[in-house]
Amino acid sequence: MLATLQIPAGFQRAQGHASEAAVLYQRVLAIRENILGADHPLTTDTHERLQAVLVVLGQTEEAARVEVPRKEEKGMAAAKNRMSEV
């Protein structure tokens, strides 16, 4: 189901319909965060796509508020969890 939303979002963006793409990416992002979690690679990908569309729309402040989990943070969190298990 998520691909059925993300693919049209990419198409809308490619066609110059950034506003429509942003709405679709926001929906995909909400679903992915809920189901997969914020640090999942697919969720991170959607974060990045949404940010890019918002920048195209000139909504740089809104784009800055879209938090993209950093891979280093994920790695550090995983390392801390492993250390606490020892």
User: Cα dist. 31→14, 43, 74, 77 in Å?
Assistant: 23, 9, 20, 23
3-state secondary structure 19-45: HHHHHHHHHHHHHHHHHCCCCCHHHHH
Q: Which range marks the domain in which residue 75 is found? A: 2-85
pLDDT string in tens for the chain (86-residue length):
666 778 888 888 888 999 999 999 999 999 999 999 988 999 999 999 999 999 999 999 989 888 776 655 455 454 444 344 43
- pTM over the 0.75 mark: no
CATH number of the domain that 34 lies in? Answer: 1.25.40.10
CB 46 within 8 A of CB 27: no
How many domains, the chain? 1
